[in-house]
Amino acid sequence: QVRLVESGGGSVQAGGSLTLTCVASEYGVHGYTFKRWCMGWFRQRPGEVREGVAFMDGEETRTIADFVKGRFSISRNNDEDTAYLQMSILKPEDTAMYYCAARLCVYGGDYRLESDYHYWGQGTQVTVSS
């Protein structure tokens, strides 16, 4: 089992910024370092299905969903077993529960779907007011 704990959510006014943090632990039982785990950020807005926001492999390959491109970015610190979602120019429509997810990277894999990920955090709420 991989444990993922998100933090950094909160309430912010439109135009503001937040950085979400996801700390991974217990992944070592699988025999791989954190660098071998692909990380994703998803969100679920009220009344809607969960959608992928940003994805990153263990190196530098990043994918950002079109609807947040230019405003959100993803990064990670492999030495600290942590992934980040930097959010700026926040809009009320960004209000959602944000989830961190993980799966082992396979060479050539492109993981953007909820079903691609095996481990999930409990989520952190982001609320953007107008």
Nearest-angstrom CA–CA distance, 79 and 125: 26
Nearest to 25 by CA among 5, 6, 41, 40: 5
Gyration radius of the chain over CA positions: 14
Check residue 108 and give its pLDDT.
79
What does the pLDDT read at residue 89?
98
Q: Between residues 107 and 62, which one has the greater pLDDT?
A: 62
> What pLDDT is attached to residue 11?
98
Q: Backbone phi, then psi, for 6, in 5-degree steps?
A: -90, 155
Stretch 16-38: mean pLDDT: 92
